[in-house]
Structure 1
Amino acid sequence: MKLDEFDFHLPENLIAQTPLKERTNSRLLAVNKQTGELSDKHFYDVADYFEAGDVLVLNDTKVLPARLFGIKEDTGAKIEMLLLKPIDTGYEVLIRPSKKVSPGTKVVFGEGKLQAVCIEKFDEGIHHMELIYDGILENVLDELGEMPLPPYIKEKLDDKDRYQTVFARESGSAAAPTAGLHFTETLLAEIKNKGVDIVYITLHVGLGTFRPVAAETIEDHKMHSEFYTMTAEAADMLNQAKADGKKIISVGTTSTRTLETIIHDHGEFKAASGFTDIFIYPGFEYKAVDVLITNFHLPKSSLVMLVSAFSSRENILNAYAHAVESKYRFFSFGDAMILY
């Protein structure tokens, strides 16, 4: 399939720059994945699509304030560094400007509270850096770092917690699983009271979030790997729901990629952890997920392809056209869609 088949027109003024005051007040576009029928709702209506015995799957990854601004120790040149994931003795990071950092270069942050030494340089601005600091890295990042908001968000985020889900607990993500941002503790309690089980899995969002699909033929695109984990307790609950004919409701593309990776690798849900580079696009056979809750994504992105595979390209592009016409808010701080 061609990349241009997943393009659509998006007016820039529909890109949400700030979160709504109330998380559940986001709009919700309900899409019948078979027929493409559309209904305009609000996110506080989402539990209407759940039944007792269904399982809601949430990604509990926690975003690190991993965007750092420092200087080269030898020249004083300004360097921006984004931590992506731990590797070997250090971290895989994205450096800007990349050309200023080579093996042996030391970058200093916060007057030396954090130092990073380049071990190896890869393509596309990616480097392997050794981090030097005292104490706990998460505390150092809380002091020195900023939330790594996507480049299309130009407004400053006043409250860091608004780029975290209310259930975030496993630190390590370079971006928020944004479909989960719409949930509140009150809504989760309402869902539980309806008899819906809630399961937490983890996928730490990495470089794939920041990289567009460049291949003209989408089958040539290569996803970057991201770390995931599922507990035995979560696997047992999901397997039981499948056996009972209940729905697995996946919140976000990150949860979806984790669930589909595990069931495609093992034939069932099981305790597992590792790295996944699964690329889901039309033609993919979904085996894990029955209902998908997701935000609205960038044109020609791998995420639009994943959602199209869950329904059809025609249904999704029609839904997106309706969302544009109806002035839904797009991307990380935008509105949501449920495919049922």
Structure 2
Amino acid sequence: MQLSYWELKNWFTKVDYTVVGSGIVGLHAALRLREKYPDSKILVLEKGMLPHGASTKNAGFACFGSISEIIDDLKSHSEEEVFQLVTKRWEGLRLLRKRLGDEAIDFKPFGGYELFLKEDESCYADCMNKLPFINEILKPLFRSDVFAKEIDRFGFNGIREHLIFNPFEAQIDTGNMMQELLKQAVSNNILILNQQTVTAFLEKGNDVEVVLNDFSFRSKKVLFATNGFANGLTGGAVKPARAQVLITEPIENLDIKGTFHLDRGYYYFRNIGDRILLGGGRNLDFDTENTTEFAQTEIVQNKLEQLLKEVILPNQKFEIAHRWSGIMGIGNSKNPIVSQLSENVYCGVRLGGMGVAIGSLIGTELADLV
């Protein structure tokens, strides 16, 4: 590609910081760099027309882990590690709200619920038995009990009588959140170029050569915020995980408000006005869902529709309006990776499906590494 003098001068000359990825992490990193280095030249490169991973495709849960997820995490992480994970998620949500404002992201503190299918007796009993213990672990952070037992008042079918309620959980508008982040980036003189794929990078003295499909330029520092697409950067420590989602047409007299978790977080649903958004099901076929391909599969979509018909909306007619998928970044550990890869290259990845909660914090930590 032959660039003009103007294009070279304004976009690709004397670049101080190149951020790869324009999602939650990438834009927070760029905004934090602008705060630290007000006169620097900051360029954000984005592979897609919009953020390519999950930042514009997630369900809009302002959550930090259901009780069954936290109990599950305790099987592979220490109590202190789990407490620090929840702390990071909570601090990240507070940072997101502070930067963007509750009105801009349509923050609705309806609370969150976990429900348990009748056949899921062991998980239900485990959560009920350990509820006081988990509350005690989290009390230093929240100063009160997080989880409480409640009777189902939503008319769900085929579930245990009691739900577990979390008053600290909320929902946001994902599209509004990303639009506000993009507005702030542009207003802070951060350059954003879409549909640009970084194919290689090479340290050259005090600079990094950044190679795109048919062009290369130099940048003093490069920050990767590519989450589920970061496998090659981290030596396999990050694996992609596809999340499939659907949303219904408006439902008359819908009496469901809040964010809801099912089966250790593998399924999740919420209302968006008078619609139901439902996602999950990658546990039905982990091998197939560990992919960077955006698509839907019959096994997952059939299960989501079954849950809608038999559990969530058992006595209501509904129609599916739309289906999509997003790509998360997971690994053997729930801890995000924020690290320096070489003298001038850094990454902030592996958000573990908690991008809304920790993306702002990880982006800030990534920028602070520089």
For Structure 1 versus Structure 2, the TM-score category normalised by the shorter chain is under 0.3
TM-score (norm 2): 0.25
Higher Cα Rg, which structure? 2
TM-score (norm 1): 0.26
